[in-house]
A and B are shown apart, each in its own frame.
Chain A
């Protein structure tokens, strides 16, 4: 039990409420999209209609990669990233560092090739600046849209990162103040339902969900703020004070000491043989390769692996490119294993929930839903306590419009995305327009039904349930893979995502349908009281 004076508790309560309310709507959008983005990889595989291979590097790939690299511009052999795509193909990003005349900044320019590792066919081949080539794979349009909304709120760089960084700080503050003001943490974690029609009150539900997701909220807010500010603020600041403003020098220090230059032409050793060497180590499957100075005496190859059983992050193994000589395990950050490097390497798995495959992802999604609920009900409580004031009543109306309008718009943009994929339209544009159109519809509904909040809420909820239930159908009608062939090919993620949509539609409908609620109650299952708009 945490003891605080009454004045301090009141102060913390005010900060907890105001911090969650002033920027709460934006925080809600970031938390909701973050919860969905945990499944970004699965959304990608679902969009792609199946994967060529679950692990694209489980077959010999050296010849395929060598063919592409050695037929490309020689300057692009400076840095080559080789990794798997959402479709289970291999992507080769051959590039050099050059000054972009448009931005005036040093950026990566080169060619991105996607190859089917089984047939060897080139699936996609584009040339340009990194920002352009990575934003043009139609299959990734939905996944990219959701991730971009979560990371940048679709604001230009670096303003989007500043915005989400500040939201991360707000969430961190809400979590810490929440921890201190809820003095009976253990008791609140096992809160007994108050007998109000055998249902929990709205405040109790907020406290219950908040208590269980408190540690999670702290971890997410901390790692989220770290990711937003690390690139946009910390890197330039640390570079300015410690490295005479040289950001490249900071990155080189983080990645390890560069190899002394030797431009003598030497053929690169076999990549498959390097993968075979790695198999002798704590092997968990090759996730990709990074090659610097391909075809030169100073070439270095780093083999990246997936996280091994019981490990939070993958490993890196270093090889001399010219000889294929195994140099041993490479620290993920820095020149040797260190506490700082290990702590930095933990940030990703902790934020993305990717450290134990689908199991940890499902836990992260469940806790993410709890966090979304806490953010939303926190604002509802704040408004409800001030419902005498017209301004706060109005805010309550728009809170509902944004609260239900956001998942409504995200689901509609998934429909327009699949329609564009099937119809050959620009998937990026159609996804964005689907979201904008649905948001505009929700806002218009909010204006038209300004005095009838419950009616607007009902329309949006039923609309959301309908869109979720019909999404698998839209996917199928757009030429997506059917369940029989998905099961036959072992692409269970397609079936899983479709079922997830149908189950979500059922729960959204359950929230509003008195008939469904009666059926569930008769079956003896517990049911949560539906909220009414404030």
Chain B
């Protein structure tokens, strides 16, 4: 009976239902992407930006600008990234930007940490 009934559904309605389903799926995917980008990824990227800032920022007259601004701007960087992700309609663009920021800041940070570990090992050996 139900099979017979389903056969009677006009093609246009079936297409509309299928479109609605795929639209709902798309919306859900966008929501999940936004959560991931604005949640854990925004936090990780802002920590990486803070960590890499002392490497390129000028020290200034008191030799502390590079430290002061990296620590001071951490909350501002985080909120700026989160707000950007919330306001951006194109999730692919937001993801690409965050991935670029992740690698651009992450690579120098990893190199810095490796240098620290090497220095610690050398200190331990002597």
A interface residues with partner B (beta carbon < 8 Å): 4, 7-8, 11-12, 15, 168-169, 172-173, 176-177, 221-222, 225-226, 229-230, 233-235, 237-238, 240-242, 244-245, 250, 253-254, 331, 333-341, 343-344, 347
Q: Of B50, B55, B76, B79, which contacts A234 at CB under 8 A?
A: B50
Closest chain-B Cβ to A399's Cβ sits at a distance in Å of 25
Residues on the B chain within 8 Å of A253, using CB: 63-64, 67
Closest chain-B Cβ to A405's Cβ sits at a distance in Å of 30
Closest chain-A Cβ to B51's Cβ sits at a distance in Å of 5
Cross-chain contact A340 with B62 (CB below 8 angstroms): yes
Q: By CB atoms of chain A within 10 A, which of B62, B63, B79 has the most?
A: B62
Judged by a CB distance under 8 angstroms, whether B1 is at the interface is no
Cross-chain contact A335 with B75 (CB below 8 angstroms): no
Closest chain-A Cβ to B120's Cβ sits at a distance in Å of 6
**Assuming A237-B47, A241-B54, A343-B72, what are 19 further A-B pairs, CB within 8 angstroms?**
A4-B87, A177-B83, A226-B75, A230-B71, A233-B47, A238-B54, A245-B120, A254-B64, A333-B62, A336-B63, A337-B61, A338-B60, A338-B62, A338-B68, A340-B68, A340-B69, A343-B68, A344-B64, A344-B72
Cross-chain contact B67 with A222 (CB below 8 angstroms): no
Closest chain-A Cβ to B54's Cβ sits at a distance in Å of 4
Residues on the A chain within 8 Å of B52, using CB: 241
Cross-chain contact A176 with B79 (CB below 8 angstroms): yes
Produce 1/0 per residue, B105-116, CB < 8 A to A: 000110011011
Cross-chain contact A244 with B60 (CB below 8 angstroms): no
Q: Which of B18-64 contact A (CB under 8 A)?
A: 47, 50-52, 54-55, 60-64
Judged by a CB distance under 8 angstroms, whether B74 is at the interface is yes
Residues on the A chain within 8 Å of B113, using CB: 240-241
Q: Is the interface of B mostly helix, strand, loop or mixed?
A: helix
Cross-chain contact B75 with A168 (CB below 8 angstroms): yes
Measured in the bound complex, the distance between the Cα atoms of B53 and A238 in whole Å is 9
Do A333 and B64 form a contact, CB below 8 Å, given A8-B87, A11-B86? yes
Cross-chain contact A339 with B51 (CB below 8 angstroms): no
Residues on the B chain within 8 Å of A331, using CB: 62
Q: Of A169, A238, A334, A335, which contacts B71 at CB under 8 A?
A: A238
Closest chain-A Cβ to B4's Cβ sits at a distance in Å of 40
Interface size class of B (residues with CB under 8 A): 35 or more
Judged by a CB distance under 8 angstroms, whether B94 is at the interface is no
Closest residue of chain A to B68, judged by CB?
A340
Measured in the bound complex, the distance between the Cα atoms of B62 and A341 in whole Å is 7
Judged by a CB distance under 8 angstroms, whether B98 is at the interface is no
Residues on the A chain within 8 Å of B89, using CB: 7
Measured in the bound complex, the distance between the Cα atoms of B85 and A177 in whole Å is 13
Closest residue of chain A to B31, judged by CB?
A11
Closest 7 CB pairs of A and B: A334-B62, A340-B68, A338-B62, A334-B64, A340-B65, A242-B54, A241-B112
Cross-chain contact B64 with A172 (CB below 8 angstroms): no
Measured in the bound complex, the distance between the Cα atoms of B62 and A336 in whole Å is 4
Cross-chain contact A335 with B68 (CB below 8 angstroms): no
Q: Of B64, B79, B83, which contacts A169 at CB under 8 A?
A: B79
B interface residues with partner A (beta carbon < 8 Å): 47, 50-52, 54-55, 60-72, 74-76, 78-79, 82-83, 86-87, 89, 108-109, 112-113, 115-116, 119-120
Q: Of B61, B75, B108, which contacts A229 at CB under 8 A?
A: B75
Cross-chain contact A244 with B116 (CB below 8 angstroms): yes
Closest residue of chain B to A242, judged by CB?
B54
Cross-chain contact A226 with B71 (CB below 8 angstroms): yes
Q: Of B50, B61, B63, B78, which contacts A238 at CB under 8 A?
A: B50
Cross-chain contact A222 with B76 (CB below 8 angstroms): yes
Cross-chain contact A15 with B86 (CB below 8 angstroms): yes
Closest residue of chain A to B64, judged by CB?
A334
Q: Of A176, A250, A339, which contacts B65 at CB under 8 A?
A: A339
Closest residue of chain A to B34, judged by CB?
A11
Ordered by A's residue number, 27 sampled pairs between the chains whose C-beta atoms are within 8 Å are A7-B89, A8-B86, A173-B82, A176-B83, A222-B76, A225-B75, A233-B47, A234-B50, A240-B113, A240-B116, A241-B54, A241-B108, A242-B55, A244-B116, A244-B120, A245-B120, A250-B67, A253-B63, A254-B67, A333-B64, A334-B61, A334-B64, A338-B60, A339-B60, A340-B64, A340-B65, A344-B64
Q: Of A229, A237, A338, A340, which contacts B51 at CB under 8 A?
A: A237
Residues on the A chain within 8 Å of B75, using CB: 168-169, 172, 221-222, 225-226, 229
Q: By CB atoms of chain A within 10 A, which of B50, B51, B52, B67 has the most?
A: B67
Q: By CB atoms of chain A within 10 A, which of B74, B76, B115, B119 has the most?
A: B74
Residues on the B chain within 8 Å of A8, using CB: 86-87
Measured in the bound complex, the distance between the Cα atoms of B69 and A170 in whole Å is 21
Do A338 and B64 form a contact, CB below 8 Å, given A240-B113, A242-B54? yes
Measured in the bound complex, the distance between the Cα atoms of B76 and A168 in whole Å is 12
Residues on the B chain within 8 Å of A335, using CB: 62-64
Do A237 and B50 form a contact, CB below 8 Å, given A222-B76, A340-B60? yes
Cross-chain contact B86 with A234 (CB below 8 angstroms): no
Residues on the A chain within 8 Å of B67, using CB: 238, 242, 250, 253-254, 340
Closest residue of chain B to A257, judged by CB?
B63
Closest residue of chain B to A15, judged by CB?
B86
Measured in the bound complex, the distance between the Cα atoms of B112 and A76 in whole Å is 36
Residues on the B chain within 8 Å of A237, using CB: 47, 50-51
Closest residue of chain B to A19, judged by CB?
B82
Measured in the bound complex, the distance between the Cα atoms of B68 and A341 in whole Å is 7
